[in-house]
Amino acid sequence: MANNPPVELRNATRGATLASRCRVADSYFPRLIGLMGAKTLEAGEGLLILPCNSIHTHFMRFPIDVVYVSRENIVVALDEAMAPWRFGRIRRGSRYVVELPAGTIAATGTEVGDTLVR
């Protein structure tokens, strides 16, 4: 996975933590591999993929929540519980994507227009 230390990712608008241990994939191979082959994504974990405006869940074993975020750290789109073996849509205006355990978006009340901080 990524060589960067994990970061905390918070929804500043809602005062909620999306991931306390969010790994950052900001180079070719970590971005290419993403969560492929992972057995699970535990509560509090996440993967921030930078740059990114679309994902796929091929070779994954579990559904994920996906948050698409602009250069200004504003949520521009959401995909809840994206199943394995799917292609996500290209989300214009997205600079990075955060992959989270399914249910995180609902549990934190995250909505389009919210501001994220790390």
Domains in the chain, please, with CATH? 7-117 (2.60.120.1140)
Q: What is the pLDDT of residue 1?
A: 45
Which two tokens mark 52? 């990114």
Measured CA distances, 39 to 8, 26, 29, 59 (Å):
22, 22, 19, 11
**What single letter denotes the amino acid at residue 5?**
P
Tell me what pLDDT residue 28 has.
Answer: 86
CB 100: neighbour CB atoms within 10 A?
26
Question: pLDDT by residue for the chain (118 residues), tens digit each?
Answer: 446 789 999 999 999 999 999 999 999 888 888 888 788 899 999 999 999 999 999 999 999 999 999 999 999 999 999 999 999 999 999 999 999 999 999 999 999 999 999 9
